[in-house]
């Protein structure tokens, strides 16, 4: 079947499904009742650029490009984009329910988390690569801030200076002692206790 530009193949009692080319673009148009369904055990679109817009063709909903990113939109505003290094979000990222989902797991932890502020409703837990459980944590409970050390034998909490040198230790039994003999003072000379 050969048809010239703008001539349509109409399928259905009222020509509900239409196939045609207007000289610039090709169209598969559903103008009847119901939805246009593409059904199959496997469906493949072979294209270098794939776009999903609203019916009025005024809002982007989904966009993907070969060797490039995949973009997801909400009300024509891009919210997620895949990058060569991962995924970029625009706006807030929230779980579907309160206190029910984890960000990472014991087997798949985040290396570093950056932020100007971290507002947590639970605790912060730290584990080394070889540790199978939580070795250290910072927790607020009943308006008290708790800092729990790890399982090291000599000491399990260390306070460091801005130069990265250990200054004060807290041992597992609760003893507080300086990192070196006769190297730190308890308060400056100008202050009395």
pLDDT in tens, 17-30: 999 999 999 999 99
Task: State residue 101's pLDDT score.
Answer: 87
115 versus 129: which is more confidently predicted?
115
Band the pLDDT of 128: cuts 50, 70, 90: low
What tens digit of pLDDT does each residue of 43-85 get? 999 999 999 999 899 999 999 999 999 999 999 999 999 999 9
* Cα three-residue angle 55-58-64, rounded to 5 degrees: 85
Tokens of 45: 């679109």
Q: Of the given ranges (79-83, 116-120, 155-159), which has the lowest mean pLDDT?
A: 116-120
In this prediction, residues 156-185 reach a mean pLDDT of 90
Percent of the chain scoring above 90 in pLDDT? 45
């Amino acid at each position: 079947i050969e048809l010239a530009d703008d001539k349509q193949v109409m399928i259905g009692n009222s020509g509900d499904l239409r196939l045609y080319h207007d000289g610039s673009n090709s169209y598969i148009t559903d103008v009847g009742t119901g939805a246009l369904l593409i059904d199959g055990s496997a469906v493949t679109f072979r294209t270098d650029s794939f776009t999903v817009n609203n019916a009025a063709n005024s809002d982007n909903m989904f966009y993907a490009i070969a060797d490039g990113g995949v973009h997801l939109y909400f009300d024509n505003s891009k919210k997620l984009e895949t990058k060569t290094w991962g995924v970029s979000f625009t706006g807030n990222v929230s779980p579907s329910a309160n206190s029910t989902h984890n960000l990472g797991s014991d087997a798949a932890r985040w290396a570093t988390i950056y932020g100007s502020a971290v507002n947590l409703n639970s605790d912060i837990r730290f584990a080394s690569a070889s540790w199978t459980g939580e070795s250290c944590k910072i927790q607020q409970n009943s308006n008290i801030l708790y800092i729990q050390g790890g399982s090291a034998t000599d000491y399990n909490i260390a306070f460091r200076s801005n130069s990265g040198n250990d200054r004060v230790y807290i041992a597992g039994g609760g003893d507080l002692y300086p990192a070196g003999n006769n190297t730190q003072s308890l308060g400056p000379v100008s202050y009395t206790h």
